[in-house]
Amino acid sequence: MTMQERRSAERVHVNLPARWEGLMAEGRGSICDLSPTGCFVLTGGEINSGQLVRLEVHFRNEIKFVWGHVVYAVPEMGFALRLVFANNNEKHALQREIENLPDRN
């Protein structure tokens, strides 16, 4: 089974500035693909699989804060994040932001 087959939602290619915070590290980077269930963050920071991360996503007119668990990390490249939500309203709010992105690739 490939990574694509395990995803529960289609990811869109984006270039969104982001800031992240884990337990022992934090950093800045950019999100290169995004869905309501996960994303990949391009960053050079040190992070480990399984770690809980708070992600600040800079959309065009709004900043959203989301939480997720690191699925895997690639040193000096970035990490994949599986998003977690307190409720469906949070997930739907992120979905609306994704659908309204002006420059979806």
Query: For residues 4-15, b (16+ Cβ closer than 10 Å) or e, as one string?
Result: eeeeeeebeebe
Measure the CA–CA gap between 41 and 28, rounded to whole angstroms.
9
pLDDT tens, N- to C-terminus, the chain (105 residues): 344 445 556 778 999 999 999 988 999 999 999 999 999 999 987 899 999 999 999 998 889 999 999 999 999 899 999 999 999 999 999 999 999 887 654
Q: What pTM does this model have?
A: 0.86
Contact 46, 26 (CB under 8 A): no
Q: Which CATH superfamily is domain 3-99 in?
A: predicted glycosyltransferase like domains (2.40.10.220)
Predicted confidence at residue 60, as pLDDT, reads 86
